[in-house]
Structure 1
Amino acid sequence: MALIFRWLIRLAATLVVLSVLTITVIYWLASRSLPDYTDTVPVRGLTAPVEIVRDNANVPHIFGETDADVFFGLGFAHAQDRMWQMTILRRTAQGRLSEVFGASTLDIDKLMRRLDLYPLAVESAAALDAKTLAALEAYAAGVNARLNQINTEALGRGAPEMLLFNAPMAPWRPADSVAITKLMGVQLSGHLQGEVIRARTSLALPDEDRVRDILPDFPGTGVAALPEYASLAPGVRRHAANIPVNPHPLSPFKDMAFAGASNAWAAAPSRSASGGTLLANDPHLGFTAPSIWYLARLDLQSGGVIGGTIPGMPVVLTGRSDALGWGLTSAYLDDQDVYIEEVNPDNREEYRTPDGFKAFSKRASIITVKDADPVTLTLRWTDNGPVLPGSHYNLASITPPGHVTSLNWTVLTPRDTSLAAAMALMEAKSVEEGIKAAQPYIAPAQNLTLVDRENIAMKMIGAMPRRDAGHQSQGRMPAPGWIAANRWQGTLPYAANPEFVAPVGGILGNTNNKTVDRPFPNHVSFLWGDTQRVQRWQRLMQTRQVHTRDSFIEAQLDTVSFTARSLLPLIGAELWFTGEAAPDGSAERQRQRALILLAGWSGEMNEHLPEPLIYAAWLRSLQARLIQDELGPLAAEFDHVQPLFIERAFRNVNGASVWCDVLQSARVEDCAEMARLALDDALLWINETWGPQLESLRWGDAHQATHDHPVLGTVPVLRYFVNIRQSTSGGDNTLQRGRTKGEDPDPFSNVHGAGYRGVYDFADPDSSVFVSSTGQSGHFLSRHYDDLAQLWRRGEYIPMSLDADLARAASVGVTTLTPVAP
């Protein structure tokens, strides 16, 4: 027995030693890829030395004698900190994820190949002006210089993920940067899914008034009556099961609820306490670790620029120079049209056009799949665009037999000069120059907010499709592609894009709200991103005669929900303080406690309060009760509360209260009864999930920001090191927007919001501030992986200064790139 015990002790000790050695080796290999920020690196491709000075937040300030050298330095810095992220972004655009991740990403690759995104990027790169192309080439050379350093010095393949996955990093090319620009367009698109959902809703609800209830026209006039979808595409099924959007974390195809959002507002000197212009911007994208945003300063010949960049792209997309500040918000331009294409029944290789049947353009594409046989895909195009599979956003559910669907989209432009516009914007010195610089911009469409030292403006940038006034669905639903009136007729001139310069009131802004009220076909869009946040923004802007940097920060971080303030009195009108006293522990008593809490609530979606969770659960349960019987499987598409729909139903706009009646029951239910039942549903869910003590609930426990690593975030044990989780305030409809997941089991997780925040004061530009949601490094062993995350969560910022001496005084390191002879 003693012998067995001794051997067990020896075996256990051996296992412990082996485990420690294994962990040590893994840590050593992973830490090899941590960049040394205090280093001198000889590189090829420079004309003179370049300095990358990293301030105490690890923001690189890049100094060089020429612009090409500065872009070279940015490429090197991006590759130092975000090598893996750049690899994944490029592979996604190329449709080559499956080479690394196997069959799990095959559907993503198939869709990207069908869109032909990367070949279009190659064409676009060739169409760029010489100055922009030179900048892209210099940037690519900087990325490749870091790759060469990694290979020469055996620096752990450049990122710890590279040790876990066989994902060799090919040399960077200018077309790769263009492809990532187009990939951003994919992530920000929502009109394709919007068309499909409207078509399916039209099939499920033949009464057009009921369609307008659940998919309401945004306030304003100019919307003409539309036909039922069944008349456009006869033969489609009225009810079809949902095919979920690809849930893979690497998929760029987002649900419409996450198809881009943002805030930006500006004040002229007349509305500024300091006498200088002000600008605030916080673009919203899906949360990841690391964030998609990377803060940087470029010392260009035209002057310094500083702000948010995206790794892989050598431009400051939102930021400022000494003379000009610029910010971006999603414009919600209707830049996508889905077409129903009739296939020739006698020749499946042809489709119908206005001039008769025509052969599909076709090309084979081979996808290499890890641990599986290659997949050969036949890509097909019509005159309207690429043919898409029926599984994409449930296209099969609205496609008649004998037909396929195609897509026209400005992102698929083969001569995309968007990067040239972004380059020119960094050199602009005034609002007028900024508007002119943005003219070559194609996609994705954005509202560009500009301020110089004296003026403010907002201009929608991006190519606007020119549609025929006789378009059968006005671009709101899929339409027959063989009818000439449904086809695009080029694009509108840049001058037709909405523009607001020097407004009389001295304040302008955008929360993705409707910006213009034009009749079709110059309407910009029927689908906008916000009707709620803008109400709160208007109040905050107009309740002060003058604003300051701090008041703009206060607005950016505001968590009061206009939606809660407007809907709660409406849906609870028959419930507040009514009913007899109920015994403790009963459903009636729990309902009374919830109503008492909500009655005294200001609508602030504060992470420490219980009321936001009760409110959010109530509204979610209420919408589910209202729509489930009418929409059936389609109800799953409406997983976020539609405030205008709730309001229409409870105000009985055009008979909308009919939604409160349960079709399957004999009696007629009213909206007050639905509100009571929904509140009971919500309280039951809260009790099962969070416990019965309503007063001890915390919204932040349910509304955790999920900055997850898109690859390692689900790996046991490792996920605790790579994922960043934070209790957060805000919600779907607050200015500090924290878009909720919408799906069980964690419907209120905060998954989409401001990964970048910046506030610029041109009375004292160096007092401007910015922050990102995680940290500068993509290496989870780096202290800069999440060092900005807590600042971001608390609503704090870091200095956004172009003062070189300040950056050097508090630097965490200086990397010097020295040229060597070729």
Structure 2
Amino acid sequence: MTVFKKLLKVILVLLILLFIGIWLFTNSLKPVYNGEVALANISEKVTVYYDEVGVPHINAENEKDAYKALGYVHAQDRLWQMELIRRIAAGRLSEIFGKELLRVDTFFSGLGIEEATKKTIERLDKNSQSYQLTQSYLDGINQFMQEGATPLEFYMVGVDKEEYTLSDIYNVYGYMAFSFAVAHKTDPLLTEVKEKLGDAYFDELNGATFDNLTVIKNEKNPELKAGFAKAINTLLEKLPVSPFIGSNSWVIGPEKTKKGKVIFANDPHIGFSQPSVWYQSHIKTPSYEMYGFNLALTPFPLLGHNKDYAYGLTMFENDDVDFYYEQNNPDNALEYKTPLGYEKYKLINKTIKVKGEKDTTYQVKVSKHGPIMNGLIEFLDDTRPIAMQWIYTKLNNELLDVSYEMSHANSLSDFKKGASKLHAPGLNIMYGDAKNNIAWFASGKLYKYRDSLNTKLILDGASGKDEILSYLDFEENPQAINPKNNYVYSANNQPDSIAGMLYPGYYLPENRARRIENLLDAKNDFTKEDVAKMIYDVTSVTAPEVIGHLIKSIDKFKLSPSEKKALQILKTWNGVFEKEQVAPVVYNRLWYEFVQNTFKDEMGDALEQFVSTPLEEKVVASQVKKKVSVWWDDITTKDKIETKEEIVTKSFKKAILFLQNQLGENVDDWRWERVASVEYEHAIGKAGGLLRKLFNVGPFKTIGGDQVINNQIYKIDSTGYYKVSAGPSTRRIIDFSDVENSMAILPTGQSGNVFSSYYKNQAQKYLDGKFVKMKLNQQEIQKSENVLIFIPKK
């Protein structure tokens, strides 16, 4: 018994020691928000005040010192995020995650981003302010990387820390630019429909892109001086970093606000992840001030404001990627046909390191249009060589200067010059200032092809007839400055005509655009509180219209009592996606069954690709209005041609039967909160179990639906559950009548360090539509409890 007691004591002591060891270890990994840190190569002391939500307010005597401090504090909260995002374009995810991501690495490393980065850096002016400040930012990151606490994730995956360089920053820009593009999801699909099903099927799909348009109007006035995709989709789903998707923004002129000053709103839509995509910071020097939102490894904010102006962005969704069929020389597969004869492919050898496996080597063939995708996508089944031409890698890259100049502008004219330098990705850049100017610029390098060429199809690379004929001057880009309606906005929808045409692109459906226009047109006395309510709005203006067209085709005499009740709920629905609503559940399931019964028989496996693009929503909104369509006939039934009424009634009945099996017989219990949820997943938390509980944030019930202003993006698939994968990556509202009390919110928190108190402290406020203050008042900032002081390192 004595031996047993001694053993228990030993075990107890060991457990206590283990607990103390774990406690000491985890505490050593926490970010440092108080005290002093010696920082190399700064000339003066830099003081960082951390506010209640962990935003660093950096006070420095000069910008070089400020950006050095920014790099350090950004890294201590987001080093793991920086590590992941820099590896994507370089094809280096397999080094830490193993062979599962080899296909992803092969694809991204073959796009030419690294090669474009090298050319860009060779051309940079090393004496420019943007270059110098970027190097200071990198120095700060690298000092933390060398001297600060190593994030837990580095230990768990066994990755060694490496110095961060300018190449990493440009590779991040390259990934960002690619994730904005949509052509890779749409062009191969439409080409396949045209080639395999014929013109009638293609024309109906393609025609839907010009139906139901809410067009952003161009209007330039003077500045005020007063004060393939299924394969690609499969690859992208494996990425551990958020893709960029859509966005809302509107800027209200002084004539439409209660206090006669500009109000600015922006909520970029990006794939949800943990940590959140944006890192907030506030830099203040004697000559410069900016409250900004930075991507990992980007020194200058893409979203920002100060007391003089505010800016933000949405995705333009213009067409800046084109695919070409090349023709190989039948006698030499290393040559391809051009109008001037055969030319040699450029050959680039690539090596990918794979954790626990031998290195993988492969070769990229590059034509004058770009890399041949057949070798980059393992399961691309087209035997014809397909080249990808991408404006991002084709033209000079000035993204560093774009972000620097937008964040350092002294006037609207200055700001416009910075926006004009953007070549890719295409962005709607929004602007508002304290002098009562408002503006929208559709930025990106736009170009023209010959008339009648459909760039939504894969083009002919051999004839020379399908080449870019000319590039447009920025003044021809869609834009508006101080328009007569006293507001500008973007919801990724079609811009007005330019250069005599509607510029081709992959614009999102009109749902959010119409709702924004309706709300902005309804009053002329907006307050910050009105805009906060608007940015959280969950009403769809188009869903009731789609339902109205479908209901007309349902055979009412063949419905059960439950079906009749569900139909009545749909009839009276106002399009609101609240937790207690039943109609959104019925609507989404009816949508799923309608799409399956209309398109599955012809499209087959390609339907999965179709429903992953914005084209689906445009096509369905157009399809429900048609009485006659080649798509109504079910080609799997012989000697019978189905009607719209048969397809819609069948879809409705199948939807109700599914919901009865999924959620029970009582229609009133089919609430939206039972099927819709959101979880912010960490790259390691995706493994599940204890790792999920430690790293992920959520799951939570949520309001909102796909293509409402509070956009909650999910797949409508066979499961009947809607796991939100993307949405507002931040919500920001800047009111120039009270700019020091402007407000924002992040989906989870400011820090990516799981042991930080700022890891998920904003999650519930975000879900509830609440905000936190973006502090600019210096006296208020200096009252912060957490103060970190950087002193020059001796």
Q: Contact conserved, 1:218 with 1:531, CA < 8 A, in 2?
A: no
CA distance in 1: counterparts of 2:89 and 2:260, whole angstroms: 45
Cα displacement (A) at 1:691:
2.9
CA distance in 2: counterparts of 1:76 and 1:322, whole angstroms: 26
- Return the letter of the residue paired with 1:766: E
Cα displacement (A) at 1:17:
7.9
Q: Contact conserved, 2:509 with 2:618, CA < 8 A, in 1?
A: no
Pairing 1:116–2:116 present: no
| CA displacement 1:771-791 (0-9 Å, x = unmatched) | 111101112222211111111
CA 1:349 to 1:645, structure 2 compared with 1: closer, same or farther past 3 Å?
closer
**Candidates 401, 424, 428, aligned match of 1:420:** 401
**Candidates 751, 771, 775, aligned match of 1:801:** 775
Pairing 1:371–2:363 present: no
Cα displacement (A) at 1:413:
4.3
CA distance in 2: counterparts of 1:132 and 1:303, whole angstroms: 14
**Candidates 48, 53, 59, aligned match of 1:52:** 48
- Return the letter of the residue paired with 2:337: R
CA 1:658 to 1:242, structure 2 compared with 1: closer, same or farther past 3 Å?
closer
Residue of structure 1 in register with 2:67 after alignment: 71
**Candidates 748, 772, 788, aligned match of 2:722:** 748
Q: Contact conserved, 1:42 with 1:819, CA < 8 A, in 2?
A: yes
Q: Contact conserved, 2:440 with 2:480, CA < 8 A, in 1?
A: yes
Cα displacement (A) at 1:259:
5.6
Give the 5 Å matches for 1:80-99: 80-99=76-95
CA 1:805 to 1:506, structure 2 compared with 1: closer, same or farther past 3 Å?
same
Q: Residue 448 of structure 2 aligns to a residue in which SS?
A: coil
Q: Contact conserved, 2:450 with 2:469, CA < 8 A, in 1?
A: no
CA distance in 2: counterparts of 1:406 and 1:241, whole angstroms: 14
Q: TM-score, normalised by structure 1?
A: 0.89
**Candidates 440, 450, 459, aligned match of 1:458:** 440
How many residue pairs match? The answer is 774
Pairing 1:545–2:543 present: no
Cα displacement (A) at 1:674:
2.4
Q: TM-score, normalised by structure 2?
A: 0.92
Residue of structure 2 in register with 1:646 after alignment: 620
CA distance in 2: counterparts of 1:10 and 1:693, whole angstroms: 62
- Return the letter of the residue paired with 1:216: A
**Candidates 163, 187, 198, aligned match of 2:190:** 198
Cα displacement (A) at 1:711:
2.8
| CA displacement 1:455-513 (0-9 Å, x = unmatched) | 1110111222x33315x743221112122232235633222211111111101211111
Give the 5 Å matches for 1:640-719: 642-652=616-626, 655-656=628-629, 659=632, 664-719=637-692
Q: Contact conserved, 2:427 with 2:444, CA < 8 A, in 1?
A: yes
Pairing 1:554–2:553 present: no
Q: Residue 718 of structure 1 aligns to a residue in which SS?
A: helix
**Candidates 286, 293, 298, aligned match of 2:271:** 286
| CA displacement 1:687-725 (0-9 Å, x = unmatched) | 333333321233133221221112332232210221122
CA distance in 2: counterparts of 1:210 and 1:712, whole angstroms: 42
Residue of structure 1 in register with 2:218 after alignment: none
Q: Contact conserved, 1:384 with 1:487, CA < 8 A, in 2?
A: no
Cα displacement (A) at 1:751:
0.7
CA distance in 2: counterparts of 1:131 and 1:758, whole angstroms: 28
Residue of structure 2 in register with 1:237 after alignment: none
Residue of structure 2 in register with 1:620 after alignment: 592
CA distance in 1: counterparts of 2:13 and 2:330, whole angstroms: 70
Residue of structure 1 in register with 2:495 after alignment: 515
Residue of structure 2 in register with 1:232 after alignment: none
| CA displacement 1:637-665 (0-9 Å, x = unmatched) | 23369344334333226x32752656515
Residue of structure 2 in register with 1:36 after alignment: 32
Cα displacement (A) at 1:559:
0.3
- Return the letter of the residue paired with 1:141: D
Q: Residue 596 of structure 1 aligns to a residue in which SS?
A: helix
Provide the alpha-carbon RMSD of the alignment.
2.8
Q: Residue 524 of structure 2 aligns to a residue in which SS?
A: coil
Residue of structure 2 in register with 1:231 after alignment: none
Q: Contact conserved, 1:411 with 1:444, CA < 8 A, in 2?
A: yes
**Candidates 523, 535, 542, aligned match of 1:563:** 542
Q: Residue 389 of structure 2 aligns to a residue in which SS?
A: strand
Q: Contact conserved, 1:218 with 1:528, CA < 8 A, in 2?
A: no
CA distance in 2: counterparts of 1:247 and 1:306, whole angstroms: 35
Q: Say which is worse superposed, 737-746 or 206-215, in terms of deviation.
A: 206-215
Cα displacement (A) at 1:591:
1.0
Q: Residue 489 of structure 2 aligns to a residue in which SS?
A: strand
CA distance in 2: counterparts of 1:721 and 1:705, whole angstroms: 16
- Return the letter of the residue paired with 2:318: L
CA distance in 2: counterparts of 1:176 and 1:438, whole angstroms: 23
| CA displacement 1:522-547 (0-9 Å, x = unmatched) | 64324212222111111111111332
Q: Residue 371 of structure 2 aligns to a residue in which SS?
A: strand
- Return the letter of the residue paired with 2:410: K
CA distance in 2: counterparts of 1:78 and 1:754, whole angstroms: 21
| CA displacement 1:297-338 (0-9 Å, x = unmatched) | 122554321132112101121121211111101001110011
**Candidates 229, 246, 253, aligned match of 2:234:** 246
| CA displacement 1:37-61 (0-9 Å, x = unmatched) | 0021112121111122110010111
What are the ranges of 5 or more consecutive residues in structure 1 without an aligned counterpart? 222-239, 581-586
CA distance in 2: counterparts of 1:383 and 1:416, whole angstroms: 18
CA 1:747 to 1:206, structure 2 compared with 1: closer, same or farther past 3 Å?
farther
CA 1:193 to 1:599, structure 2 compared with 1: closer, same or farther past 3 Å?
closer
Residue of structure 2 in register with 1:584 after alignment: none
CA distance in 2: counterparts of 1:69 and 1:691, whole angstroms: 62
CA distance in 2: counterparts of 1:595 and 1:545, whole angstroms: 38
CA distance in 2: counterparts of 1:357 and 1:253, whole angstroms: 40
CA 1:173 to 1:526, structure 2 compared with 1: closer, same or farther past 3 Å?
closer
Q: Contact conserved, 2:601 with 2:634, CA < 8 A, in 1?
A: no
Residue of structure 2 in register with 1:148 after alignment: 146
Residue of structure 1 in register with 2:217 after alignment: none
Residue of structure 2 in register with 1:598 after alignment: 570
Pairing 1:360–2:345 present: yes
CA 1:433 to 1:393, structure 2 compared with 1: closer, same or farther past 3 Å?
farther
Residue of structure 1 in register with 2:748 after alignment: 774
Cα displacement (A) at 1:667:
3.8
Residue of structure 1 in register with 2:424 after alignment: 443
- Return the letter of the residue paired with 2:580: H
Residue of structure 2 in register with 1:721 after alignment: 694
CA distance in 1: counterparts of 2:454 and 2:503, whole angstroms: 11
Q: Contact conserved, 2:31 with 2:756, CA < 8 A, in 1?
A: no
CA distance in 2: counterparts of 1:552 and 1:431, whole angstroms: 23
Residue of structure 2 in register with 1:817 after alignment: 790
Residue of structure 2 in register with 1:434 after alignment: 415
**Candidates 487, 501, 518, aligned match of 2:481:** 501
CA distance in 2: counterparts of 1:812 and 1:127, whole angstroms: 45
Residue of structure 1 in register with 2:732 after alignment: 758
Q: Contact conserved, 2:85 with 2:241, CA < 8 A, in 1?
A: no
Residue of structure 2 in register with 1:528 after alignment: 507
CA 1:632 to 1:467, structure 2 compared with 1: closer, same or farther past 3 Å?
same
Give the fraction of aligned pairs with identical amino acids, expressed as a percent: 23
Q: Say which is worse superposed, 85-94 or 687-696, in terms of deviation.
A: 687-696
- Return the letter of the residue paired with 1:292: V
- Return the letter of the residue paired with 2:542: T
CA 1:309 to 1:253, structure 2 compared with 1: closer, same or farther past 3 Å?
closer
**Candidates 558, 564, 572, aligned match of 2:551:** 572
Residue of structure 1 in register with 2:253 after alignment: 268
Pairing 1:732–2:706 present: yes
CA distance in 2: counterparts of 1:244 and 1:326, whole angstroms: 32
Residue of structure 2 in register with 1:786 after alignment: 760
Give the 5 Å matches for 1:216-227: 216-219=208-211
Q: Contact conserved, 1:241 with 1:633, CA < 8 A, in 2?
A: no
